[in-house]
Structure 1
Amino acid sequence: MGTITSPDASPSHTAGALVGWMPESGGRGTLTLVSSCSLTIFLCTWVVIHPRVSKRPTIRRLHKLALFLKTLVGPELIAVEALQEWSQAKKMKPSCAPFTGGQLKLIQAYFIGMLALRYRTPDGNRVIWPSQYTWLLEQGLITWEHHACWGLSVGDISDKSNADGTVKLAALVQVSWFLAQCIMRAAHHLPLSQLESMTMGYIPLSAVTYSLWWLKPKDIMTPSIVDLPAMSEEQRTIFEDMAVSNEFDDEGLEGQDTLWGVWHLTPRVFEKEAEDVRRQETLERSLQEVEERSRRRSKATSQALERERAGSSDNDEEASVDLPDLLRKEIVISYWDPDLYRSKIWPLSCLMGIVIWCSPPHLLAFQISNTC
């Protein structure tokens, strides 16, 4: 566990000493140290969690547990996810502003982005993604005046949210008390244990995550399910093509709302946009290659054309094989929203990246405990 000393111990005699279990009487005991650090870590990880919405209670609970474990092991990963979700919600506001009169709030954008707005289908329901909702407004298929009928009023969302002010206050008090103790020990040149140093590594990342999710609804049990307005066949095709993923739809299809899916990150609109751009570039490149082959064949002599006809089936087969190969799906570990580089907080984003990848909590704990 590291160095554990009593408050009145001399630093020169205890800085390098390793001790076992210390009783509570006469100084700082091991039980108090372990319980204080454990409670602080729990509050920094559990309270900060804002899971997406799922209709199935089992999936909802398991997803929250998965988020808790990921936050416990890698709080920097949840901080990045919160930053990307905040960026998506911020971009949705100006996109919808011409059609909402600027009345769309950040809490409503968060509500849509956390998969809480869905539409009925013959087999169940599907997610309405932020880009789809914006498109419905742009096409005049829905109006902002009726947003309350879709469960998007701030009052309805706040009623569904289960954010507990008492838990937030308890977390703030515990974290403040823990930091005060660590500062006082440092001021008196007393060493910190490795457990205390590791616990301190959770606090800044949890603070960043919670500040980004401050307005995001928490622990919503049921989504708002609506009926889509009447659309033409072309409009329906465009609308469905804008879906980022069908993994979180509830139509009883294979791969939807699975136990393994509770570990998956919530997809973002910019991921779909990046994928569409990549596919479009690949298609254009493959079509150019096919046109180039056609031009080469047209310039051949009549005698060469005879030979070309004999091998045309092979060439056509080659062209048909090239296209799927070019469109094969790559394995992507993670996406990064490029708009974050153009936002007002890009210096903070860069600083977060340095802190996240160079000083994770366990490395920070190791460094502090070895210098005390």
Structure 2
Amino acid sequence: MTLLQACAAHAHIQLVCASLPSLNDTSIIHTFDTSDSPCSNSTRTLWNILLSCGLTLFACTWTAIHTNIPGMDEGRVAITSRRLFLMVAALIVPELMITWATRQFFSARAAAKEFNNEFGAQRTQTYDRDRDISEGTATLLSDISRGSSTPRPAAEFKEWTMTHGFFAWMGGFMLYVDGKPRATLTPDELLQFVRDGYVDMPLISEAEIEDRSKGDGLSKAIALLQLAWFVVQLVARYGQNLPNTLLEIDTLAVAALTCVAYGLWWKKPKDVGCPYIVHWKATGTPRRLTYRHAIISIA
């Protein structure tokens, strides 16, 4: 049991004790016999409690988990097994999921900032330099640059967002050498290869990345509504001086921690199946790549 769950359990014990009548006045059994309550539906069965907690936990974990792009050699069974493993981990050790999501959040922000600083500054310098040249000379230079093989990534570079950073760290850019997949590029490798002119700068917009994502507003809304309805039920029972079970308090604690990870992953694409292809242009072959043969770790 985690620290937050233990605190929640302690608070629940106090809540139940406060809701119990004095032992000198009546029996404990009368506390759970709510037939005298103004609300006739206040009595719940074990099945009702398990169903409510189970749906809430499933909705929160299934929506919150944002896995990385699977490797090209991974099958459907491996992908599903990894997803189930992460869901179980989110239920048992939700703090681990928050740590993982926090690490990815700061890594994505750093990657976006690094690309914007590198190629955004080049684009500004290119624009300022071309603005001082006459129109005829600028046209001539643009014709020459189009015929040249030298890459100009900053000319059409658009600012990277957190979505780009997440996409890069989740295995979103696949290096192809001679028309075959070679490896998944990390943001550092992609930046170095673009800087050296070995590959072209990937011109993919945030809208295109979100189009690859399987997450939509409806699934998010359903999960949030289920969690909100669960919280409203707990608050209503507390207001009516009715006891709540330890399972419900534990479910609320896990759901709250899951929402923290969900917030950190809000800009991360969900369940992307295929990466963006980056073609190798140099004569030699790349070496010392982090992920060879399109193998992607989940960490």
TM-score after normalising by structure 1: 0.56
The answer for the alignment partner of 2:170 in structure 1 is 114
| 8 Å contact kept, 1:115–1:129 | yes
Matched, 1:98 2:113: no
The answer for the alignment partner of 1:361 in structure 2 is none
Matched, 1:34 2:12: no
- Equivalenced residue count is 235
1:144-175 deviations in Å (ceiling 9; x for gaps)? 4xx23xxx322321221111321211111111
The answer for the alignment partner of 1:362 in structure 2 is none
1:162-193 deviations in Å (ceiling 9; x for gaps)? 11321211111111111122223333443220
**What is the SS of the residue equivalent to 1:12?**
coil
**Letter aligned with residue 189 of structure 2:** Q
- Gaps of at least 5 residues in structure 1 are 4-9, 251-255, 258-263, 267-372
**Letter aligned with residue 109 of structure 2:** K
The answer for the alignment partner of 2:185 in structure 1 is 128
Distance 1:85 1:104 in 2: 16
| 8 Å contact kept, 2:185–2:290 | no
1:230 to 282, 285, 288: 282
**Considering only aligned residues, what root-mean-square deviation do their CA atoms show, in Å?**
3.3
Distance 1:120 1:141, change over 3 A: closer
The answer for the alignment partner of 1:11 in structure 2 is 20
Distance 1:43 1:68 in 2: 11
Distance 1:93 1:226, change over 3 A: closer
Distance 1:138 1:33, change over 3 A: same
Distance 2:79 2:173 in 1: 16
1:196 to 248, 261, 271: 248
**What is the SS of the residue equivalent to 1:47?**
helix
| 8 Å contact kept, 2:183–2:291 | no
1:266-322 deviations in Å (ceiling 9; x for gaps)? 2xxxxxxxxxxxxxxxxxxxxxxxxxxxxxxxxxxxxxxxxxxxxxxxxxxxxxxxx
Shift of 1:62: 2.3
Distance 1:116 1:16, change over 3 A: farther
Distance 2:174 2:199 in 1: 14
**What is the SS of the residue equivalent to 2:282?**
coil
| Higher RCO, 1 vs 2 (CA within 8 Å, ≥6 residues apart) | 2
**What is the SS of the residue equivalent to 1:110?**
helix
The answer for the alignment partner of 2:93 in structure 1 is 74
Distance 1:244 1:143 in 2: 19
TM-score after normalising by structure 2: 0.68
For residues 186-335 of structure 1, the aligned pairs below 5 Å read 186-230=238-282, 236=286, 240-241=287-288, 243-246=289-292, 249-250=293-294, 265-266=298-299
Distance 1:27 1:46 in 2: 29
| 8 Å contact kept, 2:174–2:181 | no
Shift of 1:17: 5.5
For residues 331-370 of structure 1, the aligned pairs below 5 Å read none
Distance 2:61 2:84 in 1: 11
1:50-107 deviations in Å (ceiling 9; x for gaps)? 1111233423222222211211222211111111011100111221113332701111
Distance 2:283 2:257 in 1: 45
1:326-372 deviations in Å (ceiling 9; x for gaps)? xxxxxxxxxxxxxxxxxxxxxxxxxxxxxxxxxxxxxxxxxxxxxxx
Sequence identity of aligned pairs in percent? 25
Distance 1:29 1:199 in 2: 17
Distance 1:96 1:26 in 2: 58
**What is the SS of the residue equivalent to 1:119?**
strand
1:87 to 106, 126, 131: 106
Shift of 1:38: 0.9
- Gaps of at least 5 residues in structure 2 are 1-8, 13-18, 121-157
**Letter aligned with residue 131 of structure 1:** D
The answer for the alignment partner of 2:82 in structure 1 is 63
For residues 175-186 of structure 1, the aligned pairs below 5 Å read 175-186=227-238
Matched, 1:153 2:210: no
